[in-house]
């Protein structure tokens, strides 16, 4: 196992190293998606559990993450081994993730609500056990402002490819006549359970890990360390922007299928539409990287959010049968989705540098756990707004038809509300306190104080 430490002023990482780092995300990225698309209907329709109980179990399991995230983040910062701080968590998390996914996705025909609760809870716990240290490791692989963008972009590119494979599987199974949830979930589980252990092994063997940064001078822990988090303006800005971006995107994600079914009238094209959007996002990734080099990560991220908002403004123009217009808007809008993810993660690594200088030690895992909690809460907010507001204006998915006024209200909520929410992030991000020059100054001070 490669445990040779990277030096403070290491050479740039090779494409091979970044590819090996991103490789697990090919399958790791698709673990949670079926939990939204298939598990509720599979356990309620196919296995005859009460729908309300299924929804409650999934909600409770996600709520537990709010408590486990910071615990895992802190432990991964503090647990040192001869491998480093992050690798052992992937080694520990992978078997539990594989086991819980198989038990949840390929259950016996006779299951109970307690069975669903146990394995859903273990799946989300195992995912956090894997995901937080994995992303913290990526943030620590380089201290270079732009190279951090490339590392995050490699990981998200593998994630996009994983989503493409996932969607292609659904399309192929449909063409072969396999339309049931059970068949879809079994094929996805086989793919993840076979490939993820292999990918993680390669990553652990061939990707190095930097030693944690400890600085001369006072080290702030406990309550003084907590106060420094609250006083970290860059962190507060990223949390605020995450809430706005994620909640806006989740409003649209919640309504995609409903719009396609009840307004456009072509629900069978959902998988193909999301596939086209994901491919567009992957193709555009290098362009967003180049833009971040020219104007900075924070302003490129701002423009990526604005890009989604501008195309979303046209959604109320879509009506029955407007499939070409609708998919064109979805593809154009979605071409910045991967950019939002990788630029956010790259900026997060810079925010950790600010905290390292202030506290005297590196708390990457803790920070990524706080961002993870923020994202989960923002997802909940987006889903709530995406379901409650259409219902308030009279939209009911169980009805076969709706009035023109109701459909227009739905499309305005779907298009205009996320645009307004995401536009609110512009003043927060445009003059973000850490640009390339400020980051270089941070790194210079950190290197001067390294033990």
Model pLDDT for residues 313-323, shown as the tens digit of each residue: 999 999 999 99
| pLDDT > 90 in the chain, percent | 57
Q: How confident is the model at residue 5 (pLDDT cuts 50, 70, 90)?
A: very low
In order, the DSSP letters of 304-320 are HHHHHHHHHTTGGG--T
pLDDT at 387 over 50: yes
Q: What are phi and psi of 215, to 5 degrees?
A: -110, 155
Hey, is 84 helix, strand or coil? strand
For 6-59, write each residue's pLDDT tens digit: 444 445 889 999 999 999 999 998 888 788 777 877 887 788 888 778 878 877
User: Residue 11's pLDDT is what?
Assistant: 55
- Top mean pLDDT of 369-378, 405-414, 442-451 is at 405-414
Residue linked to tokens 């949840």 = 104
Angle between the N-to-C axes of helices 145-175 and 270-295, in degrees from 0 to 180, rounded to the nearest 10? 170
Q: How confident is the model at residue 157 (pLDDT cuts 50, 70, 90)?
A: very high
Residue 6 DSSP code: P
Question: Does 402 have pLDDT greater than 70?
Answer: yes
Return the closest-CA partner of residue 336 out of 239, 273, 249: 249
One domain for residues 236 and 152:
no
More confident residue, 83 or 403: 403
pLDDT at 271: 83
DSSP one-letter string for 330-347: HHHHHTTHHHHHHHHHHH
Domain co-membership, 103 together with 35: yes
Q: Which two tokens stand for residue 60?
A: 């409770």
pLDDT of residue 4: 45
Residue 314: predicted pLDDT? 96
Q: What is the CATH number of the domain that holds 190?
A: 1.20.1250.20
Residue 9 lies in a domain: no
This prediction has a pTM of 0.86
Whether 298 and 429 have beta carbons less than 8 Å apart is answered as yes
Confidence of residue 306 (pLDDT cuts 50, 70, 90): very high
- What's the pLDDT score for residue 451? 67
| End residue of a domain, out of 212, 244, 278 | 212
Whether 77 has a pLDDT exceeding 70, the answer reads yes
Residue ending a domain, among 163, 193, 212, is 212
Q: Are residues 190 and 269 in the same domain?
A: no
pLDDT digits (tens, 9 = 90+) for 171-211: 888 888 887 788 889 999 999 999 999 999 999 999 999 88
- Boundary of a domain, candidates 185, 212, 239: 212
Same domain, 151 and 236: no
Residue with more model confidence, 218 or 363: 363
More confident residue, 382 or 8: 382
**Is residue 214 classed as helix, strand or coil in its secondary structure?**
strand
Q: Considering its fold, how many domains does the chain have in total?
A: 2
Least confident residue range of 42-56, 67-81, 355-369: 42-56
3-state DSSP: the chain helix, strand, coil percent, rounded to 5?
Answer: 75, 0, 20
Q: What is the pLDDT of residues 91-126, one digit of tens each?
A: 999 999 999 999 999 998 888 999 999 999 999 899
Range name among 33-47, 68-82, 229-243, 343-357 with the lowest pLDDT average = 33-47
- Are residues 291 and 387 located together in one domain of the fold? yes
Residue 3 pLDDT greater than 80, yes or no: no
Question: 47-56, 129-138, 238-247, 360-369: which range is least confident on average?
Answer: 47-56
Q: Is residue 375 part of a domain?
A: yes
251 and 367 together in one domain? yes
Q: Domain check: are 43 and 164 in the same one?
A: yes
Shared domain check, 122 and 135: yes
68 or 64, which is more confident: 68
pLDDT value at position 237? Answer: 94
Quick: pLDDT tens for 429-444. 999 999 999 999 999 9
Instruction: Assess whether 76 and 128 both reside in one domain.
Output: yes
Choose among 271, 114, 300: nearest CA to 188: 271
Is residue 5 situated within a structural domain? no
* Domain residue limits at 200: 14-212
260 and 164 in one domain? no
Domain co-membership, 205 together with 313: no
Largest CA distance in the chain: 68
Q: Lowest mean pLDDT: which of 62-66, 237-241, 280-284, 333-337? A: 62-66
pLDDT at 223 over 80: no
pLDDT at residue 336 tops 60: yes
- Average pLDDT, whole number, for the chain? 88
């Amino acid at each position: 196992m490669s445990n040779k430490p990277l030096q403070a002023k290491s050479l740039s990482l090779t494409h091979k190293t970044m590819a090996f780092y991103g490789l697990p995300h090919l399958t790791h990225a698709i673990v949670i998606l079926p939990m939204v698309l298939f598990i509720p209907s599979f356990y309620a329709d196919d296995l005859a559990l009460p729908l309300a109980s299924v929804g409650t179990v999934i909600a409770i399991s996600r709520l537990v993450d709010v408590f486990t995230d910071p615990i895992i983040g802190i432990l991964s910062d503090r647990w040192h081994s001869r491998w480093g701080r992050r690798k052992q968590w992937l080694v520990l998390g992978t078997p539990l993730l594989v086991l819980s996914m198989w038990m949840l996705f390929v259950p016996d025909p006779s299951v109970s609500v307690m069975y669903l609760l146990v394995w859903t809870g273990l799946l989300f716990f195992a995912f956090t056990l894997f995901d937080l240290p994995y992303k913290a490791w990526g943030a620590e692989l380089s201290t270079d402002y732009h190279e951090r963008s490339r590392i995050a972009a490699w990981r998200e590119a593998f994630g996009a490819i994983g989503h493409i494979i996932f969607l292609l599987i659904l399309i192929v199974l449909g063409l072969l006549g396999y339309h049931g949830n059970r068949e879809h979930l079994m094929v996805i589980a086989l793919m993840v359970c076979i490939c993820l252990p292999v990918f993680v092994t390669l990553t652990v063997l061939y990707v190095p890990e930097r030693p944690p940064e400890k600085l001369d001078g006072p080290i702030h822990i406990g309550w003084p360390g907590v106060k420094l988090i609250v006083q970290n303006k860059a962190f507060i800005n990223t949390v605020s922007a995450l809430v706005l971006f994620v909640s806006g995107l989740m409003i649209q994600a919640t309504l995609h299928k409903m719009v396609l079914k009840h307004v456009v009238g072509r629900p069978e094209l959902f998988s193909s539409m999301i596939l086209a959007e994901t491919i567009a996002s992957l193709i555009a990734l290098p362009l967003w990287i180049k833009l971040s080099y020219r104007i900075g990560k924070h302003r490129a991220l701002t423009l990526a959010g604005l890009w989604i908002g501008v195309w979303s403004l046209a959604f109320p123009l879509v009506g029955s049968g407007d499939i070409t217009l609708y998919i064109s808007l979805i593809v154009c809008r979605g071409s910045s989705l991967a950019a939002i993810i990788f630029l956010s993660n790259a900026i997060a690594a810079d925010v950790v540098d600010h905290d390292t200088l202030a506290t005297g030690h590196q708390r990457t895992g803790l920070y990524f756990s706080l961002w993870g909690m923020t994202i989960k809460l923002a997802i909940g907010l987006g889903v709530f707004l995406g379901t409650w507001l259409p219902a308030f204006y009279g939209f009911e998915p169980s009805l076969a038809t709706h009035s023109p006024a109701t459909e227009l209200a739905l499309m305005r909520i779907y298009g205009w509300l996320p645009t307004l929410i995401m536009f609110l992030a512009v003043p927060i991000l445009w003059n973000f306190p850490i640009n390339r020059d400020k980051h270089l100054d941070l790194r210079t001070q950190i290197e001067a104080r390294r033990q």
